[in-house]
Amino acid sequence: MRAVTAEQMRDADERGQKRVGDIALMRAAGERLHEAIARLPGGEGPIVAFAGPGNNGGDAFAALALMDRERPRIVYALEATAASAARRYAEGRARAAGVEVRPLPETLADAGEALRGASVALDALLGTGSRAEPDEALVPAIEALNEFSRERVVAADIPTGIDPTTGAVAAHAVRAGITVSLGALKVGLLLDPARAYVGKLYVGDVGLKDEVAALGAPFFTTLTADEFCDLLPRRAETADKRSAGAPLVVAGSTQFPGAAVLCARGAARSGAGYVTVATTNDAADMLRLHLVEQVVVGFDERDVPSAIECLLDLTNHCGAVAIGPGLGLNDATGEIVRGFIAKLELPFVVDASGLFHLAKHLDIIRGKPCVLTPHAGEFARLSGEGTVTEDERVDRLRRFVELTGVTTLLKGRATLIDDGNTMHVNPTGTSALATAGTGDVLTGMIATLLSQGLSPVDAARAAAYWHGIAAKFMNGGRNVGITAGDVVRALGMAPMMASHIVMGEWPDDKSAPGNDQLICISSGGRMNSLGGL
């Protein structure tokens, strides 16, 4: 799914207005908001909207005009001194439908009183024009919304106080239970710290698909559940164990044997038919005790040329390579890693110790089909630019990929994958993955997908999505007590979980694994769940 910046959304909206008119677009926006509000179970109290002076406020009028006339509907609106024709039309239609219009409360006490007894509160104070800090006149409404029952706060387009491009959060910002991103998904809603303010995330189709598709750079995307399911390779009925996927895992040492085990198991559980593990002779027997379904081959790290030749020979029977989890940090291992990569022709993924040995030697991977998977600390060393802060992640990653020409996956709750053309934002990140070894599992998964024929960028984004879904499947909503081994065990079930999301079986089921946030798209009078955020 394409995600857009605020500037891109304004461009698409302007061209859409020329094609169908702003009244038609606002009516469609009202329909999408109405659909989202109607999905909230129970409640017979008033539907209350806080509306700003722009078209975002107009969307609130358009939505409430469609709601059940048996329920009280009130819009508390800031005066629109230069209202658009669409807003004037929506307000007139709302008044004709029995919607009561009152001035926006000026104090927190009055704003709280306005929400007393309400069953739904609609935040329509600011849209994609939102900037760093909302005007003081909006603060009482924002704070009152935050004191209201969060699961019944619906944000029109974006929660007020959120930057739709960067994900930055103002000092005063609405914490929504549902956000309906109108026209297209705003990339800032996928990024931290904004993700904590979004709640369940829907993308409302208002008729701008052609305009959004025609937008130029920058290109941001996120996988939806159906796109993820379509991306996964299908094993042919005639497949044998090697054609099903045969990654080579170069990993492990006497100090860190577990990383190799987790990487190999992640590769196997994500569909590989034949996993080969190459490790140091000293660690090989230890790994064999744990890897009974994978082949473990030892190499002599004290003989660098022999070790490199051994690894290259193993690639003759493999389709891709994972390099790094648990390898030693000594100079000899570094020479082996770099010498092997320099001669490697298969697609490969590098993580952990492999990244340590590649720092300051990135020239050897330029032009090769590979994926780098650093966390923030590893990225600081790789890039040579020091610590990366949350607000720098997009720009720093884009700059790094432009410099190296290599697909890079920068880990985080909002994991970013960039191939030099498109920045992919993974929507399934969860703090359940904040435990040792989960990155090793991810590396094995990427190696398998590479061995099954996916491109580096597709292997990285599919594995990241799958990884998050598996963790959500196991965590039961608590995000604690999950180990990397648990994630491995959930990998086989996770694609089925995603397919259930596509079929719309879980969006309203509070017991569903990982159902904390969902990306959905609404069109044609229906709202289908497409994936988990």
Contact of 155 with 174, CB cutoff 8 Å: yes
- The percentage of the chain sitting over the pLDDT mark of 70, rounded to a whole number, equals 92
Closest CA to 2 of 205, 223, 150: 223
- Two structure tokens written together for 258: 């577990």
- The band of 217, judged by pLDDT with boundaries at 50, 70 and 90, is very high
For residue range 370-391, what is the model confidence (pLDDT) as tens digits? 999 999 999 999 999 999 999 9
What's residue 526's pLDDT? 40
- Dihedral class, residue 100 (left if φ above 0, else alpha if ψ from -120 to 50, else beta): beta
What's residue 24's pLDDT? 97
What's residue 496's pLDDT? 76
Q: Are strands 185-186 and 200-204 parallel, antiparallel or unpaired?
A: unpaired
127 has pLDDT over 70: yes
Contact of 184 with 12, CB cutoff 8 Å: yes
**Global pTM value:** 0.92
- The band of 508, judged by pLDDT with boundaries at 50, 70 and 90, is very low
What's residue 519's pLDDT? 52
CATH code given to domain 2-221:
3.40.50.10260
For residue range 257-298, what is the model confidence (pLDDT) as tens digits? 999 999 999 999 999 999 999 999 999 999 999 999 999 999
What's residue 481's pLDDT? 82
CATH superfamily assigned to domain 241-518:
Ribokinase (3.40.1190.20)
For residue range 31-50, what is the model confidence (pLDDT) as tens digits? 999 999 988 887 778 999 99
What's residue 511's pLDDT? 33
- Two structure tokens written together for 77: 């609106």
- Among 133-137, 151-155, 257-261, the range scoring the smallest mean pLDDT is 133-137
Contact of 315 with 344, CB cutoff 8 Å: yes
Phi/psi at 507 (nearest 5 deg)? -55, -35
Q: Compute the average pLDDT of residues 491-512.
A: 56
The full 3-state SS of 53-112, as one line of letters, equals CCHHHHHHHHHHCCCCCCCCEEEEECCCCCCCHHHHHHHHHHHHCCCEEEECCCCHHHHH
What's residue 525's pLDDT? 38
- CA geometry: angle at 122 spanning 118 and 125, to 5°? 130
Amino acid at the residue 415? T
Residue spans per domain, the chain: 2-221, 241-518
